[in-house]
């Protein structure tokens, strides 16, 4: 029986998944063994590439670029900034923000600390390894490992920073202080963006904040090790985000792509910029005015690639609030596209579905 990197090529897939999971060392643990071939559990099936769908494994050459919004003066230039945010949110669902107020030192130190955590000895990292749904700080690889058709070439440190303030002692020492500082800065930026997005919908600036969109946030530090066969797998499969808004800090490696007009568009790293994208829940409450667009990350020979995603959402914080299209945006001509849902039900459906290439929003559409 042929062996590939310690996995049987035609052995039991579940056993391979369990062996990977129980190693508690993630994708980096495999790379550290000096592999030249990727294990079978990471190989993307043929139906996930080619055909009439946009190619998922290649860099794009299209001339379109993701909009850039300058936040230098959001008071004096308010109308221009709101118009820029509206255009991006309604069409591409992605934009980069510059002059956002978070110091370069904080960005650089956050990336360095995230990389530092993922490059700790296995024994130290494994203490944080968990698949417990409600654990606030956990290290893992592929939240949908047992549901997905193929595993992604990515490890993650997941931290729930709010609504209840996280005790810093729960964070790994190597990234503790800077994660707390970055968290405070990025949440403040999130509040500013929700104010601009509210105005872009023709609502009062505090409308989205009043819906608790900024009440909680998660910080996910992703680590994409160099891959010996990047064309056979993905860093992150095609998906949209189960939150209201995502603010992403990425290093200079690149690989993030957004689906626009059935073409994969590269989102190249811009020094000092942050990438912002509309989440599924903001598309739902805006009644499809704003677009939660599918995106993916390519695997790469180069690396490691490090990125820090901040998900703005109360997530699983206990709440009786139901989310549906905002009443002020509805009319006879614009009936509700979605039914109401709790965050708990939305996230349960998203997690059960996993990154299968399909939007979770379809499940919550009103029956016509």
What percent of the chain clears pLDDT 70, i.e. is strictly above it? 92
Query: 108, 237, 106, 252: which is closest to 182 by C-alpha?
Result: 106
Query: What pLDDT score does 368 carry?
Result: 67
**279-304: pLDDT as tens digits:** 999 999 999 999 999 999 999 999 89
Q: Assign 266 a pLDDT band (cuts: 50, 70, 90).
A: very high
User: How do residues 135-184 score in pLDDT, each as one tens digit?
Assistant: 999 999 999 999 999 999 999 999 999 999 999 999 999 999 999 999 99
* Cis check: omega of the bond before 186, within 30 degrees of 0: no
Q: How many CB atoms lie within 10 A of CB 270?
A: 15
Q: What percent of the chain is predicted at pLDDT more than 90?
A: 85
Q: Which of 27-31, 56-60, 225-229, 256-260 has the lowest mean pLDDT?
A: 56-60
Indicate if the pLDDT at residue 2 is higher than 90.
Answer: no
Sign for the pseudo-dihedral over CA of 250, 252, 256, 261: positive
Q: How do residues 104-133 score in pLDDT, each as one tens digit?
A: 999 999 999 999 999 999 999 999 999 998
**pLDDT confidence bin for 318, thresholds 50/70/90:** confident
- Per-residue pLDDT tens over the stretch 6-63: 344 445 899 999 999 999 999 999 999 999 999 999 999 987 764 334 544 455 545 6
- HSE of 118 in the Cβ direction (CA atoms, 13 Å)? 30
Domain spanning 63-364: CATH superfamily:
B-lactam Antibiotic, Isopenicillin N Synthase; Chain (2.60.120.330)
Q: For the chain, how far is it from start to end, CA to CA, in angstroms?
A: 53
223-237: average pLDDT:
97
CA-wise closest residue to 211 among 115, 132, 329 = 329
Rounded to whole angstroms, how far apart are CA atoms 249 and 308?
5
| Mean pLDDT, residues 333-355 | 93
Residue 63 confidence (pLDDT)? 62
Angular region, 257: left φ>0, alpha ψ -120 to 50, beta rest: beta
* Average pLDDT over the chain, rounded to an integer: 92
């Amino acid at each position: 029986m042929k062996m590939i990197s310690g996995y049987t090529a035609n052995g039991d897939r579940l056993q391979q998944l369990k062996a990977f999971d129980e190693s508690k060392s993630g994708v980096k643990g495999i790379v550290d063994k000096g592999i030249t071939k990727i294990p079978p559990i990471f190989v993307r099936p043929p139906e996930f590439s080619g055909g009439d769908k946009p190619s998922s494994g290649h860099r794009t050459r299209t001339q379109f670029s993701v909009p850039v919004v300058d936040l230098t003066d959001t008071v004096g230039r308010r109308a221009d900034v709101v118009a820029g945010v509206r255009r991006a949110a309604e069409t591409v669902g992605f934009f980069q923000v510059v002059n956002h107020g978070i110091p370069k030192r904080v960005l650089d130190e956050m990336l360095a600390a995230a990389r530092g955590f993922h490059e700790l000895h296995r024994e130290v990292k494994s203490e944080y390894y968990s698949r417990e749904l409600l654990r606030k700080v956990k290290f893992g690889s592929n939240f949908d490992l047992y549901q997905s058709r193929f595993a992604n070439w990515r490890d993650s440190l997941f931290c729930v920073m709010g609504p209840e303030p996280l005790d810093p002692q729960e964070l790994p020492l190597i990234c503790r202080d800077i994660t707390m500082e970055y968290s405070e800065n990025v949440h403040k930026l999130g509040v500013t963006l929700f104010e601009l997005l509210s105005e872009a919908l023709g609502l009062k600036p505090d409308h989205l904040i009043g819906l608790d969109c900024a009440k909680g946030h998660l910080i996910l530090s992703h680590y994409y090790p160099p891959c010996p066969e990047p064309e056979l797998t993905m860093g992150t499969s095609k998906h949209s985000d189960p939150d209201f808004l995502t603010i992403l800090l990425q290093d200079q490696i690149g690989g993030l792509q957004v689906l626009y007009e059935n073409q994969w568009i590269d989102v190249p790293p811009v020094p000092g910029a942050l990438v912002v994208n509309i989440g599924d829940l903001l598309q739902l409450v805006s009644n499809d005015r704003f677009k939660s667009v599918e995106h993916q990350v390519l695997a790469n020979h180069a690396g490691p690639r490090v990125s820090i995603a901040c998900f703005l959402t109360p997530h699983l914080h206990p709440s009786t609030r139901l989310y549906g299209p905002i009443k002020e945006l509805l009319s006879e001509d614009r009936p509700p596209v979605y039914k109401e849902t709790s965050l708990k039900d939305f996230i349960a459906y998203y997690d059960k579905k996993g990154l299968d290439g399909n939007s979770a929003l379809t499940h919550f559409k009103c029956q016509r």
